[in-house]
Structure 1
Amino acid sequence: MTANSNLPHSPEPYWRVNVQPPSFPALSDDIEVDAAVIGGGITGITTAYLLAKEGLKVALLESDVVVNGTTGHTTAKITAQHDLIYDELIHHFGTEKARAYYQANDEALQVMRQLVQELSIECDFSDEDAFVYTTEEKNASKIEKELHAYEKLGIPGGYVSELPIGLPIHSGIVMKNQAQFNPVKYLIPLVGKIQSMGGQIYEHTRAVDVEDGSPAKVITGDGHKITCKYAVSCSHFPFYEGNGFYFARMHPERSYTVAAKIAKPFPGGMYLSADSPKRSIRYTPMNGEKLILIGGEGHKTGQSKDTMKHYEALKTFGQTDLGLTETLYRWSAQDLFTLDKVPYIGRLTESHPNILVATGFRKWGMAFGTVAAQMIRDSILEKENPYSELFTPSRFKADPGIKTFVAENTNVAGHLIGGKLSTASKKIEELHPDEGAIVSYNGQKGAAYKDENGQVTVVDATCTHLGCEVAWNNGDRTWDCPCHGSRYSVNGDVVEGPADKPLKKLE
């Protein structure tokens, strides 16, 4: 980070500032429940809430603390406008399934609106129009095709030639009556409801395996077992794959957000560029003012040499185009992309009827987390759900599936081989304070970090998932795997899967 960058020193999502979620103990014994829900983000919490409401005995397990993973680092838009997707969905899946994709997300938005009203949740929820725009003539045809898709599917919206925020554009499209909120403030009351209905919640409890059967047994990293009729993986990347090969059917991307003040009034609305690099713009209330969230700069996890430059680029965009005056917060998030851009929600595999999964939400987990929770509830209650075929994890579309599968796994192979052939970038004594690098250490590659007091921590540089070499993420101070997106702290602890074992410390 440059000395005059004026960016916050450490990443911190605004959603968790001045908000204190409740804390919970780690699981310390074997237990038995109807449903074990793994993952304390919006998907897991909403699923646990809906199941507890139906009278099931539920346990919610989180490897870190609740509402702090991707859910705590989102831009928190609740929308069915997922970039320019509907023309593509019609092309690959047909009109009916494209309409079902929209309806599933629109219904999730209505459910969330209703929950906010019913439970009187104060979470800065507001109805907003959502826009996708382009500043480049070469992308105008994409906007036009998407407009035709809206018309074909009956999506409320239309063409726009200008934006309420005054950003000069070539053309754009609006989807009416979408929403935004503070996800942490929204989920804390649901956590309280889960407890009041008898649900058990455990933090710092990492699920690492499942013993198949009926009942199933979820195994934690400490060796405790949760015997359950249903095991539900809502842990972003599935904590258990059961030969579903999810690591080969998804790729992870990181994206970035800066939260800032701007000089001119902000009229509201949510905005996303169709151009590259992406730019996402929205506001959230802060002490009577509007804090502007500027997001974008996505790239595959572990495949950017300098992650701070992405924050810098967003800040520069804000200064140039929005009149940004002060950057107060910055944070990043990780998202999983399936082969066909449609999430996997349902049975883990056809041979695992009582192990359910929800993953691959791309960048749209707020609505999809609620879609998934309703689908999982219906599956467990043996109720028909109109969206089960569309989102089933066992589907495979040859177009675009095969091409995407080959491209993604060629990329992985390249990084696996490239990492093994690469040499150390620095000697330990060359590290600056608050810097990490791959070093040669006692004849092997080490991932070394020197803190601001000069203390050096060295861990094995080989990812414990499938053996790729990790890369330093200077924006978040983590070690990130460029193959399947596992992330580790400077001490080697797992921050994000698919890895479930830490990097070995090198003494």
Structure 2
Amino acid sequence: MTHHEEKLPKESLSYWRTNIEFPKFPKLEQDMDVDAVIVGAGITGITSAYLLANEGLKVAVIDSDEVLNGTTGHTTAKITAQHDLIYAEFIHSLGREKAGLYYQANSEALKFMKETVDRHSIECEFSPEDAYIYSTTEKYAKKIEKEAEAYKTLGIDGELVDSIPFPIEIQNALVMKNQAQFHPTKYLVHLIQHITDKGGQIFEQTTAVNIETGVNPSVLTTEDKRITAKHVLICSHFPFYEGTGLYSTRLYANRSYALAVKTKKEFPGGIYISADKPARSLRSVTANDEELVLIVGEDHKTGQGIETMDHYKALETFGEDVFELEEVRYRWSAQDLVSLDNLPYIGELTAGNPNVLIATGFRKWGMSNGTAAGLLFRDMVLGKENPYADLYTPSRFNVHPSVKNFVVENANVVGQLIKGKLETPKTKPEDLSKGEGAVITLDGHRKGAFKDDEGKVHIVDTTCTHIGCEVAWNNGERTWDCPCHGSRFSYTGEVIEGPAEKPLQKYDYKMIDNLT
């Protein structure tokens, strides 16, 4: 297929953020006291606030941006316990009991979501679907066979099949029955209404930067405001506060890409993902009574890899080959965090501190894991036993796979840190076209430059304000992305995604000659 640029939309825009009216909330302007303060207004934070408000607790939710504009607003929105090829690995590394608990936790999350949709009559395109993972090579066919044995061991409702209803030559596929898909922002907007109806308060454009721990911990914001609570729930994707948990060394950031496309061929139903790499994920969505196909994949570590627009082009080519495309309506990308052993960290931020809880590392499966986190948080705040607390506990760091991956991932960080310092870019500001960004050399200094559509050049320091790695230009989203821990900045240097808290240093292009 040719002429990708003619079909791909110029701007990145998530389908889940269009044609829906989001509620607006003020910035936090004064100190306050609540029972629970929740940092992050995605599926984990909103679900947690909904559950705790229903229990009669006084809750406050704060978000550095707008509600549902982070990973939740850019998801694939599958609700499933089929999280790639995971159960054979978990049986081997965690044991049969914990592998079964993981399946059970995510299945119960799906059940809770369906019951919530039914209870409140939420129109969010909730649809039961069978989930398939398929192989196109002999190597992955054997892995799927091993995964099928794990399904039998754990009593998972599924089976091997030898075909899927697409013109893709596969070796085999593994189906997990009775999973689902939905429209995540429509679902969560309804939960937000229930939170505010119960007296819960939500604040946007309110960035948390620190926690004062104690019997009643306080969350501190960039505006020197504080919310004091009995419980703090960190649901901010990457934890804005790590304590002594070393989360920067225990997580790595991955980006993946999505297209919502109008196809000539009808979508046959179901939700699908390839076992082979690069991954290809498929599901349908309904836009104004018109069916679109969502094509997702091309994941890579944030700030590392090929030109980002090439990932979109690869998905477009795949869609054309399988479905014959009429039009690419939307394109967007998402960032996900992966833990060292592929299990989320959900529980006490640091062992023995039950007042500060964290949920992170959902590894692209945040709809079920984020909901499971909310259910676990509710029980922990209320002092109730929960069968999944030990499974997800962040203090499990000493398990064998974690130790191995700790060394590998942190060697990668060191490598990226050194690589960025040694690179000498040859591009100059005058070389840029409108809408183009690049790492440049200016008066002997390594800088980042972007020329906007009016021809103004924006210059920033490329040193990430987290630990000092050098950011890379993301031409698909027009952002500066850090290859070490996934911090992301706008082309003007403002923080989009943590763990960085401070913006990149800006420079006036006309005054840059004065740098020494």
Q: TM-score, normalised by structure 1?
A: 0.98
Secondary structure (helix, strand or coil) at the match of 2:57 reads coil
Specify whether residues 168 and 270 from structure 1 end up closer, same or farther in structure 2 by C-alpha distance, changes over 3 A only.
same
Q: State the match for 1:243 in structure 2.
A: 244
Measured against aligned partners, the alpha-carbon deviations of 1:414-445 in whole angstroms (never above 9, x if no partner) come to: 11011111113411111111111112235432
Q: State the match for 1:26 in structure 2.
A: 27
Secondary structure (helix, strand or coil) at the match of 1:394 reads helix
Q: State the match for 1:182 in structure 2.
A: 183
Q: State the match for 1:91 in structure 2.
A: 92
Q: State the match for 1:6 in structure 2.
A: 7
| TM superposition shift of 1:243 | 1.4
Retained in 1: the 8 A contact 2:235–2:358?
Answer: yes
Q: State the match for 1:493 in structure 2.
A: 494
Measured against aligned partners, the alpha-carbon deviations of 1:183-226 in whole angstroms (never above 9, x if no partner) come to: 11000011111101000100000101001111101000111011
Retained in 1: the 8 A contact 2:343–2:392?
Answer: yes
Q: Structure 2 counterpart of 1:118, which letter?
A: R
Specify whether residues 68 and 246 from structure 1 end up closer, same or farther in structure 2 by C-alpha distance, changes over 3 A only.
same
Q: Matches of 1:457 and 1:443 in 2, distance apart?
A: 17
| TM superposition shift of 1:2 | 7.2
Retained in 1: the 8 A contact 2:308–2:476?
Answer: yes
Retained in 2: the 8 A contact 1:207–1:221?
Answer: yes
Q: Matches of 2:410 and 2:481 in 1, distance apart?
A: 17
| TM superposition shift of 1:491 | 1.1
In terms of mean alpha carbon deviation, does 340-349 or 416-425 score higher? 416-425
Retained in 2: the 8 A contact 1:424–1:440?
Answer: yes
Q: Structure 2 counterpart of 1:452, which letter?
A: D
Secondary structure (helix, strand or coil) at the match of 2:69 reads coil
Retained in 2: the 8 A contact 1:361–1:368?
Answer: yes
| TM superposition shift of 1:165 | 3.3
Measured against aligned partners, the alpha-carbon deviations of 1:34-63 in whole angstroms (never above 9, x if no partner) come to: 111000100000001101111111000010
Retained in 2: the 8 A contact 1:52–1:197?
Answer: yes
Retained in 1: the 8 A contact 2:4–2:316?
Answer: no
Q: State the match for 1:414 in structure 2.
A: 415
Retained in 1: the 8 A contact 2:257–2:297?
Answer: yes
Q: State the match for 1:460 in structure 2.
A: 461
Measured against aligned partners, the alpha-carbon deviations of 1:347-402 in whole angstroms (never above 9, x if no partner) come to: 00114321000000001000011000010110000000000000000002543112
Retained in 2: the 8 A contact 1:307–1:473?
Answer: yes
Q: State the match for 2:235 in structure 1.
A: 234
Q: State the match for 1:203 in structure 2.
A: 204
Q: Matches of 2:77 and 2:439 in 1, distance apart?
A: 35
Q: State the match for 2:331 in structure 1.
A: 330
Q: How does 1:424-463 map to 2 (within 5 A)?
A: 424-463=425-464
Retained in 2: the 8 A contact 1:35–1:59?
Answer: yes
Q: Matches of 1:438 and 1:310 in 2, distance apart?
A: 20
Specify whether residues 4 and 336 from structure 1 end up closer, same or farther in structure 2 by C-alpha distance, changes over 3 A only.
closer
Secondary structure (helix, strand or coil) at the match of 1:437 reads strand
Q: State the match for 2:303 in structure 1.
A: 302
Q: State the match for 1:272 in structure 2.
A: 273
| TM superposition shift of 1:4 | 3.9
| TM superposition shift of 1:466 | 0.3
Secondary structure (helix, strand or coil) at the match of 1:368 reads helix
Q: State the match for 1:131 in structure 2.
A: 132
Retained in 1: the 8 A contact 2:167–2:322?
Answer: no
Measured against aligned partners, the alpha-carbon deviations of 1:295-314 in whole angstroms (never above 9, x if no partner) come to: 00000000024000000000
Q: State the match for 2:479 in structure 1.
A: 478
Q: Matches of 1:136 and 1:130 in 2, distance apart?
A: 19
Once the two structures are aligned, what percentage of the paired residues are identical?
57
Q: Matches of 1:3 and 1:115 in 2, distance apart?
A: 41
How many residues are matched? 507
Specify whether residues 409 and 2 from structure 1 end up closer, same or farther in structure 2 by C-alpha distance, changes over 3 A only.
farther
Q: Matches of 1:109 and 1:79 in 2, distance apart?
A: 7
Q: Matches of 1:141 and 1:399 in 2, distance apart?
A: 25
Query: Is 1:17 aligned to residue 18 of structure 2?
Result: yes
User: Structure 2 stretches of 5 or more lacking a match?
Assistant: 509-516
Q: State the match for 2:511 in structure 1.
A: none
Measured against aligned partners, the alpha-carbon deviations of 1:68-91 in whole angstroms (never above 9, x if no partner) come to: 100000010000000010000000
Q: State the match for 2:220 in structure 1.
A: 219
Query: Is 1:44 aligned to residue 45 of structure 2?
Result: yes
| TM superposition shift of 1:166 | 4.4
Retained in 2: the 8 A contact 1:425–1:437?
Answer: no
Retained in 2: the 8 A contact 1:446–1:506?
Answer: no
Retained in 1: the 8 A contact 2:124–2:184?
Answer: yes
Retained in 1: the 8 A contact 2:81–2:368?
Answer: yes
Q: State the match for 1:388 in structure 2.
A: 389
Q: State the match for 1:405 in structure 2.
A: 406
Secondary structure (helix, strand or coil) at the match of 2:396 reads coil
Retained in 2: the 8 A contact 1:59–1:199?
Answer: yes
Q: Structure 2 counterpart of 1:497, which letter?
A: G
Q: Matches of 1:283 and 1:68 in 2, distance apart?
A: 21
Q: TM-score, normalised by structure 2?
A: 0.97
Q: Structure 2 counterpart of 1:439, which letter?
A: I
Q: Matches of 1:214 and 1:23 in 2, distance apart?
A: 32
Structure 1 residue ranges (4+ consecutive) displaced by more than 6 angstroms after TM superposition: none
Q: State the match for 1:373 in structure 2.
A: 374
Q: How does 1:103-114 map to 2 (within 5 A)?
A: 103-114=104-115
Q: Matches of 1:221 and 1:423 in 2, distance apart?
A: 35
User: Structure 1 stretches of 5 or more lacking a match?
Assistant: none
Retained in 2: the 8 A contact 1:5–1:312?
Answer: no
| TM superposition shift of 1:120 | 0.8
Q: Matches of 1:322 and 1:81 in 2, distance apart?
A: 24
Superposed CA RMSD in Å reads 1.2
Retained in 2: the 8 A contact 1:150–1:157?
Answer: yes
